[in-house]
Amino acid sequence: MSNTCFKCGKSEVMTEFCSDCLLGTSKIENNFKYHSPKEGQPKKYEDIREKAKELAYLIDELCPNSREKSVAMTELETAVMWANASIARN
């Protein structure tokens, strides 16, 4: 049994939407391509890293060495990565 995609009208699909519409190919393409820095972006990346570094030093100073401190540092690194990705992708 085949269907027609509700979104784009493509025929011979197995579900109500074709795989392109289900996956949002433009978003996938954007998320997995190289984004060369545009004007002003390097400064934004630098500012985010600098503020995150300040917080990292504060966490290092105030928190006892522990799994929780390690997770906090890792999550801070993750936050910086996603913030930079937000700037690059959008």
Residue 28, pLDDT score: 81
Residue 73, pLDDT score: 99
Residue 1, pLDDT score: 61
User: pTM, whole model, 2 decimals?
Assistant: 0.70
- What is the residue-level pLDDT of the chain in tens, covering all 90 positions? 678 877 777 787 677 777 777 666 778 888 889 999 999 999 999 999 999 999 999 999 999 999 999 999 999 999 999 999 999 999
Query: Would you say 23 and 32 are in contact if contact means Cβ atoms under 8 Å apart?
Result: no
Count of other CB atoms within 10 angstroms of residue 13: 19
Q: Could you tell me how far CA 67 lies from the centroid of its own chain? A: 25
- Can you tell me the distance from the alpha carbon of 78 to that of 90, in angstroms, rounded to the nearest whole number? 18
Helices (H), 1-90: 19-23, 25-31, 41-62, 67-89
